[in-house]
Structure 1
Amino acid sequence: MENTLKPTKQTFLTDDFLLKSKFARRLYHDHAKKMPIIDYHCHLSPKDIASNRQFENISRVWLAGDHYKWRAMRTLGINERYITGDASDKEKFEKWATAVPYTMRNPLYHWTHLELSRYFDIDQLLSAETGSDIYEEATSLLQKSSYSTRGLLKRMNVEVVCTTDDPIDDLNFHQEAKGLDLKLLPAFRPDKAYAVEDPSSYLEYLDKLEQASGITIDQYSDLLSALEKRVEYFHENGGRLSDHGLEHLYFFKKGTFEVDQLFSKLKGGKRLTQEEINYFKFETLTALSKMYHAKGWTQQYHLGALRNANERMLRVLGPDTGFDSIGDYPQSVALAKYLNNLDSSDQLCKTILYNLNPADNEIMATMVGNFNDGSVKGKVQFGSGWWYLDQKDGMEKQINALSNMGILSCFVGMLTDSRSFLSFPRHEYFRRILCNLIGQDVANGELPEDEEWLGQMVEDICYNNAREYFGFYDI
């Protein structure tokens, strides 16, 4: 690919970026780098993939929806007009360019330059001085057919993309994408099915679930029947994963409340108490988990986000716009009891746990071992560093906790959790960090210099384990 930009400052992104030993470099360049990508959790648009969207400019593919960048820009005093407002796409990009030098030591600085380099062969440092030229160069390349959404995915050697989909979604775009070299698969995200805090909003959702399932939902058993029908529909369309975003999991002695009565209250527009809300979620999540087990699915739990902390900005911009943070919710007791309740009847399916608070790393790393029963390799997994933890320090700590208290070699590896088609170098970032940690152990004399074994271990974590664990290639 020819880069028409004039050379500027030498990039820090050398071939050996983050690789501090000879053995780490061998592990990355000879093993990790070549492995395809299975991105089993992201927020990409299935419509954009199915239609093979061609983005008008780099702002549309890179800045739109990226609340990581938005938070940084707001912190630097950049007006909202240049973030989510009515400024032109080029103006927004140029404002981002002015912000980038100030993000040094934030993972955004690494991600930004990896993405410019890997997709556009642009090795210049992004700044106020280079922003306009880089905008024009990247936007020009995006007009080429090889830079369509599927072209961008192919460029990163992506084999599987699992999107995040509500039970009411029709999955038409996943159906349109059948037959492509890329596997585009849905993941079942039923958070709204138990979001009963606001009865009026919940009843509106139930109306949509009725339409999607064809089941009239008059009582709680109807709700479960509708959800089960949608699980079946997702399964028929390649779904093998569910995902749940929760502050924490819930556990109650069954019968603490009568769930049928709680549902009747909701249907009558009455608000539940907080304990009643939590019990309703416990009952519904438990029922869903058993449905997943019956289908051989994997369930994912993203735990610990404090969402919508800024109510004023929530009113102005809505959710998922950059006003969420790490929460300090207690995790271990209810989580253990919830998983044990499912395991007691041998209905605990493959499970991945993600924590947002790094203080919970060791909790998660030890919790998964409680429920690995020898039936499936790595049946219960400590998931990769998530959200605020998918940066160098966060990933190192997750890998070290998993290594110290579990079996790293069973790990199913990295995911993007992103809304951007330019986010896939995060897999490279993870792979370099993984190889560097193992390479450093070898350099320290703490592991044998066995490239055949350690190279295979790296390849497994980067790709093979996920391929075996999720069963996507049997679909």
Structure 2
Amino acid sequence: MLRENNKEIREKLFNEIKDLPIIDYHCHLSPKEIYLDEPFSDIGDLWLSYDHYKWRLMRSAGVDEKYITGKETTTKEKYTEFARVLARAFGNPVKEWVKMELKTYFSIDTPLNEKTADDIWEKTSQIIKENELSPRKLIKQSGVEYIATTDDVLDDLEYHEKLKDYEVKVAPTFRTDKLLEFKDVTYISLLANKTKIKMRGIESFEKAVKMRMDYFIAHDCKFSDIGIEDFPTKIASREEADLLIKDFLDKDALSKEDRERLQGYIFVFLGKLYAEKGIIMQLHLSSLRNPNMEMFNKLGRDTGFDSVGECVPARALSSVLNRIGEKKLPRTIVYTLNPTMYYQILTLAGSFPEVIPGMAWWFNDHERGIFEFLEKASELGHINGLIGMLTDSRSFLSYVRHTYFREILCDFLSQFYDGNNYSELLEVAKNLAYLNAKKLLKKRERMSVKKYMGIRSQKVNGL
């Protein structure tokens, strides 16, 4: 609940930033869907096809999985179950987001529940049909300026290429989760096939990764990302990494300790590569991936079953950052899914000028979580150095979360109003809502132009 103290200042700040453009520097939207731009069929399709936040809410309320991801149920049946659950989801941010989504995109103020569900279904269906509501129309209506999708190292980026003349910049992110898993040699074999490089050891592995990195940069990549649940506490030397890669290629397996040491080396190698190429490194820490093996076996990964993991040891994180920074540390954004790690990350960022604490993320991007993060970031560092909100979403309606964040940000800042510092408060509000992300991108664009002039005119291997 927003505070009544300095309500006038809070609302004045919000009115000045609410319509600023959106830079969505980390999301999971599909570039294919953006390119094809096919109209949605109904509100159930829009809400419940991909949105893990809504799926988790339904599961938490005891809804049968067939009404969440089941192919045997219609979108209307899923929507009806969602409406029933949402009416009683007091305190969950999804309830507020749905209210904002209905108001923003459909001009509907009626709360969603069992009694109103059919009427809202009919009204939204009519608007979707009459306006042929599609991904690009929602992006435009939301005021989005830049979208960084999440893309595997081996993705062909076909749709990014097709979107190069689209008015909104849609750029890939170099996501290395599968590259670092080392569960079996399948992924390395795919990397070898993609790059036409025979894998013999660490040198050929690094050459192939560099080739893919250059391919992403040729498609205007500015960000990298890693979100595996393990963070290395040991770092192999290059000689050790070469032996480990060779052993892995030969035996199709690594011990837990050897995998960790190899991951440590690859973390450092990638960080140094990002610094050389001018890529922003994102580290998403403390997630527990696929803890429910029964549901993982049924539905696969990325179906909304991940959870909060243990804190990453601060010494391990600082060791990796130090090894990467032996020459130069790339601009780095460090997020944690476990809020008990905020003090470690916020104070560690104060020790590494190139490191920015990542905004409250995933299970923490509710009102109290965002406010708590802003409090700690202000107390332990400088709030004006933060980048601002990210959606981390697969939903094209999720841009209301930027409005949600901006409201909370203005509420937080208004408590510091002393009668004479409105201009400073407004500067910080604008920076966290938009300008800091814009400046970060502009800096990387200048570096990219300087280092990679003509890269599009060259033949880039590794397609």
Same topology, TM > 0.5: yes
- 1:117: which partner in 2? 103
How high is the TM-score relative to the length of structure 1?
0.90
> Matches of residues 417-456 of structure 1 in structure 2 within 5 Å?
417-442=392-417, 447-456=418-427
> Matches of residues 246-257 of structure 1 in structure 2 within 5 Å?
246-252=228-234, 254-255=236-237
Measure the CA separation in 2 of the matches of 1:219 and 1:100. Answer: 53
Moved more, 89-98 or 77-86: 77-86
**Contact 1:57–1:139 (Cα < 8 Å) also in 2:** yes
Following superposition, the deviation at residue 219 of structure 1 comes to 2.0
**Contact 2:285–2:312 (Cα < 8 Å) also in 1:** no
- 1:357: which partner in 2? 338
Of 20, 23, 30, 1:35 maps to: 20
Q: Secondary structure at the match of 2:87?
A: helix
- 1:190: which partner in 2? 176
Moved more, 403-412 or 246-255: 246-255
C-alpha deviations, 1:64-120, integer Å up to 9, x for none? 122221222122222111111120111111110111011110111111111111111
Following superposition, the deviation at residue 47 of structure 1 comes to 0.5
**Contact 2:235–2:265 (Cα < 8 Å) also in 1:** no
Measure the CA separation in 2 of the matches of 1:144 and 1:276. Answer: 58
Of 66, 70, 74, 1:81 maps to: 66
Measure the CA separation in 1 of the matches of 2:111 and 2:295. Answer: 32
**Contact 1:42–1:417 (Cα < 8 Å) also in 2:** yes
Following superposition, the deviation at residue 461 of structure 1 comes to 1.2
Q: Which amino acid aligns with 2:268?
A: T
- 1:107: which partner in 2? 93
**Contact 1:45–1:419 (Cα < 8 Å) also in 2:** yes
Q: Secondary structure at the match of 1:170?
A: coil
> Matches of residues 405-424 of structure 1 in structure 2 within 5 Å?
405-424=380-399
Following superposition, the deviation at residue 217 of structure 1 comes to 2.1
Segments of 5+ residues of structure 2 without an aligned counterpart are 450-463
Following superposition, the deviation at residue 209 of structure 1 comes to 1.6
**Contact 1:186–1:234 (Cα < 8 Å) also in 2:** yes
Of 230, 241, 266, 2:212 maps to: 230
Of 23, 32, 43, 1:58 maps to: 43
Measure the CA separation in 1 of the matches of 2:368 and 2:393. Answer: 19
**Contact 2:23–2:144 (Cα < 8 Å) also in 1:** yes
Measure the CA separation in 1 of the matches of 2:186 and 2:393. Answer: 28
Q: Secondary structure at the match of 1:370?
A: coil
1:177 aligns with 2:163: yes
Measure the CA separation in 1 of the matches of 2:330 and 2:123. Answer: 48
Q: Which amino acid aligns with 1:43?
A: H
- 2:119: which partner in 1? 133
Q: Which amino acid aligns with 1:173?
A: Y
- 1:5: which partner in 2? none
How high is the TM-score relative to the length of structure 2?
0.92
Moved more, 77-86 or 262-271: 262-271
C-alpha deviations, 1:9-57, integer Å up to 9, x for none? xxx9xxx999961111110012x21210000000000001112221112
C-alpha spacing 1:182/1:313, structure 2 compared with 1 (3 Å): same
Following superposition, the deviation at residue 144 of structure 1 comes to 4.2
Measure the CA separation in 1 of the matches of 2:236 and 2:250. Answer: 24
Following superposition, the deviation at residue 280 of structure 1 comes to 0.9
Moved more, 208-217 or 78-87: 208-217
Root mean square deviation of aligned Cα: 2.0
Measure the CA separation in 1 of the matches of 2:128 and 2:229. Answer: 39
Q: Which amino acid aligns with 1:50?
A: Y
C-alpha deviations, 1:209-245, integer Å up to 9, x for none? 2232232223222111111011101111100100000
Task: Give the length in aligned residue pairs.
Answer: 445
User: How much identity, in percent, do the aligned residues show?
Assistant: 35
Following superposition, the deviation at residue 360 of structure 1 comes to 0.6
- 1:155: which partner in 2? 141
